[in-house]
């Protein structure tokens, strides 16, 4: 998610961490236990074409990680538990081969520029915004490269949460698991234990809403990441993922739920979600009114869903992984930078950091530092370094 300070104070952090501890426990296992936990039924899906050099290197690092192999099998297992066949198949398609179909529907540079211009006319991007921010490298017709795998994609941009190979899968698995937990708690506390919350929607929305990070957060050859375009005041991946949901024929209710991840449609933030629905519709090439996302409201628009579904709020609540993960990344990245300067391993700093974090996550290392101190933290890094191939 893209952090909004004005919204973060509305979330009860103590309650979040109480639920988070149980969900995160399997991801804190040691490397040997992690390797044994992988489900052989769900191996890493390999790309069907050539990757750009930076993406290929990130994939090799992720492929060597027992953590990533286990994590991916957990993600696929959760996706396969979605009951609705069409929705389940759509999510699995993204996990296996995350090719942006919204881009395939706009194949010419003329059409792509027209999409940028329509977004600019609506005030969602600047008039001179790069078209490549909406249609990133690898989405061109007859592109010599294919999109990077879901399982080697970072979870955010340079210097932010989960910015390492496997970071997107880490982020989405955690969020989807949190959504499932929130749904059970809402059923238990507000609906007498009856299964009222649509589990398929909240799990699928959490796995779906960041999927276009595979396009916007690609790897340069030096291990740094592409810069993301802001669309309608939030990270571009958000509206691109919404556009992809529209292109795949997902219901207006589902799209609204998906696009509520960065702000709940309440407490003055309704317009944010409305703008993201409109921006996603422009990118997908549909009329947001005809699609059922928004309706006229005086001189503007409002969400067509009135009242909005409870699942939208659950999707927002579940996307608060950043509360810990951003802080953990900043602390750990600073220590990795200092260690890199002393040891000079055979890699750039960016690739050294990516290789190390792909083995364990910044949160696991942060916890080691916080609970056991710097000596244990350094010993853990040394163990990973000894087993890593940085090439």
Q: Which is more confidently placed, 5 or 82?
A: 82
Distance CA 178, CA 343 (A): 38
d(CA 59, CA 54): 9
Contact 276, 242 (CB under 8 A): yes
Q: What angle do CA 28, 30, 35 make, to 5 degrees?
A: 105
Residue 26 has pLDDT above 50, yes or no: no
Confidence grade of residue 30 (pLDDT, cut at 50, 70, 90): very low
Q: What is the predicted pLDDT for the residue at 38?
A: 67
Asked if the model's pLDDT at residue 17 lies above 70, the reply is no
SS3 content of the chain, % helix, strand, coil (to 5): 60, 5, 40
CA pair distance 360, 348, nearest whole angstrom: 19
E strand map for the chain: 230-231, 234-235, 294-297, 300-303
Confidence of residue 387 (pLDDT cuts 50, 70, 90): confident
Residues 6+ apart with CB under 8 A from 390: 345, 346, 347, 351, 352, 355
Do 253 and 309 touch, CB atoms closer than 8 A? yes
- pLDDT, mean of residues 212-235: 97
Examine the pLDDT at 5 and tell me if it is beyond 70: no
The model's pTM is 0.89
Q: What's the full length of the chain, in residues? A: 391
Rounded Cα distance, 276 and 262, in Å: 10
Q: Tell me, what's the pLDDT at 362?
A: 95
Distance in angstroms (rounded) separating the CA atoms of residues 189 and 187: 6
Q: What is the mean pLDDT of residues 276-300?
A: 97
CA pair distance 44, 69, nearest whole angstrom: 7
């Amino acid at each position: 998610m893209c952090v909004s300070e004005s919204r973060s104070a509305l979330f009860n952090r103590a309650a979040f961490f109480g639920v988070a501890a149980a969900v995160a426990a399997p991801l804190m296992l040691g490397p040997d236990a992690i390797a044994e936990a992988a489900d052989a039924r769900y191996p890493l899906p390999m790309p069907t074409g050539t990757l750009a050099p930076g993406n290929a290197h990130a994939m090799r690092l992720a492929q060597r990680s027992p953590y990533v192999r286990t994590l991916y099998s957990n993600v696929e297992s959760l996706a396969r538990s979605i009951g609705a066949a069409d929705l389940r198949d759509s999510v699995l398609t993204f996990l296996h081969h995350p090719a942006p179909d919204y881009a395939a529907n706009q194949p010419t540079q003329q059409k792509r520029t027209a999409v940028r211009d329509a977004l600019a006319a609506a005030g969602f991007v600047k008039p001179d915004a790069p078209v490549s921010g909406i249609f990133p490298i690898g989405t061109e017709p007859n592109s010599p490269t294919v999109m990077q795998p879901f399982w080697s994609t970072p979870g955010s941009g340079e210097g932010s949460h989960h910015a390492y190979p496997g970071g997107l899968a880490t982020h989405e698995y955690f969020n989807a698991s949190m959504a499932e937990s929130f749904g059970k708690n809402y059923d238990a506390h507000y609906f007498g234990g009856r299964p009222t919350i649509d589990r398929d929607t909240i799990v699928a929305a959490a796995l779906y809403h960041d999927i276009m990070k595979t396009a916007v957060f690609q790897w340069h050859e030096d291990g740094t990441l592409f810069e993301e375009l802001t669309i309608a005041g939030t990270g571009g991946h958000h509206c691109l993922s919404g556009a992809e949901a529209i292109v795949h024929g997902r219901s207006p209710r589902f799209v609204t739920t998906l696009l509520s991840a960065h702000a709940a449609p309440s407490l003055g933030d309704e317009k944010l979600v409305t703008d993201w629905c409109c921006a996603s519709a422009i990118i997908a090439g549909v009329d947001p009114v005809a699609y059922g996302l928004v309706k006229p409201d005086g001189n503007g628009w409002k969400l067509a869903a009135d009242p909005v579904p409870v699942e939208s709020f659950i999707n927002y609540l579940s996307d608060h992984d950043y509360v810990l993960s951003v802080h953990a990344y900043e602390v750990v990245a600073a220590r990795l930078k200092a260690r890199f300067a002393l040891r000079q391993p055979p890699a750039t700093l960016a690739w050294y950091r990516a290789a190390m974090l792909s083995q364990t996550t910044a949160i696991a290392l942060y916890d080691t530092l916080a609970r056991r101190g710097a000596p244990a933290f350094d010993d853990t890094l040394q163990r990973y370094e000894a087993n890593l191939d940085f090439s």
